[in-house]
Structure 1
Amino acid sequence: MTLGHSLTLSGAALIALPSGGLFWPDEGLLCVSDLHLGRSERMARRAGALLPPYDSAATLARLDADIEAVRPARVICLGDSFDDLAAAEAMDEADRLWLLRLMAGRDWLWIEGNHDPGPIDIGGAHLESLRVGPLSFRHIAEPDGGAEVSGHFHPKARIAGLSRPCFVTDGSRLVLPAYGSYTGGLDCTTPALRDLFGKGARVILTGPRPIVAPLDQISPRSSSLSR
């Protein structure tokens, strides 16, 4: 069974999953970024915007399906896992129990993000960054970084009329799409994101059929990031 699109990052053989998750088979490692659990609650509380309150359940269902498919021994949540501290505290009890069930029996690592509430009473380890083999995992890419997996930018791209969240990589650096629902996205040609990558960079659209294209061939479009 083909799980997704295979790629190599600094010698590590990885799979970009249709969901926006990243699987590293040799390490039994699943990495997801920018879950933004509790986003609809935070939007209602801060801005008065009433979004359907199902984003956390939709995100957890996606994560549940990926865990069932790849059976990871380790899960890395690459920052901005909760929309803010209050959203974490207000998490629906059913969603909290669902998350705890997914965490059970696995090495679960929360990487710090700019939205993250810091350590919370839900288990797992909290780290600023993590190195596994040749790769470093952090929330925001470092300008001079290499062999690095990060998130934060919520990259998206339009290819052949399809606009979707996407992975962006040049073989040395990889930026993951936002995994959570209602997260918005930043056009992958925006300089703050585009300038992180060297020659040969490409994008990989999420979705049931991986679509890959050179980053330099993506036409600039207006961004719609909302974080």
Structure 2
Amino acid sequence: MREELLRRINERVWHPGDIIPGEADLAEEFGCARTTVNRALRDLAESGLVTRRRKAGTRVAINPPHKATLTIPIIREEVEGRGSIYSQSLLKRDKQTLPPHLHAAFPVSAADRLLYTETVHFADDRPFMFEERYTNLEAVPSFEAIAFDLITPNEWLVQNAPYTAGDLTFYSVNAGQRLARLYEALEETPLFVMERTTFNGDLPITHVRMTYGPGYRLRTRF
């Protein structure tokens, strides 16, 4: 039944703003109990597709939400998908506390020792992306034992650390001396940055800052 109601909404049998038939009428049409109708309408309301007002009936939402499902990419696969040969270099690995400016984004204790890694991802031996990552070992204890010579922190976490929620931020920065040297670019060259934080329930897993080389374009499908 829910599928039929959804079809009528999607195919504009019922237009945005229209009042749809009441529960009694729908129950009679579909030959089912009103509780079944109520459950289907409640599900559509929770999805934002209809609005329900007591004594005012149920209307098709005028501006329903559009949701997208995002998958965390494996950088190796992204590079290889562009037709390039992938390689990586782990520049740094040690335990650190989280810098104060990241506490709002990654809610761990100021005293927690996190595993900090820096990785350069290459495409055809050219720097593709510079990754700075803090990982909460309370969330993934086995992460500490990985050497990261055969697998990157990015790929290991995607494969081994299930997450239930996350936060994603995009912005640009001007290349400082270090990144300008890495990318063989002029200082102040605009670079694309993506920051991502993932959680398993309320437990933060990892915070990563990814700075891409000049000219990088993010492409996604929806």
Q: TM-score range by the shorter chain?
A: under 0.3
> What TM-score, normalized to structure 2?
0.23
> What TM-score, normalized to structure 1?
0.23
Which structure ranks higher in relative contact order (CA pairs < 8 Å, sequence separation ≥ 6)? 1
Q: Considering only CA atoms, is the larger Rg found in Structure 1 or Structure 2?
A: 2
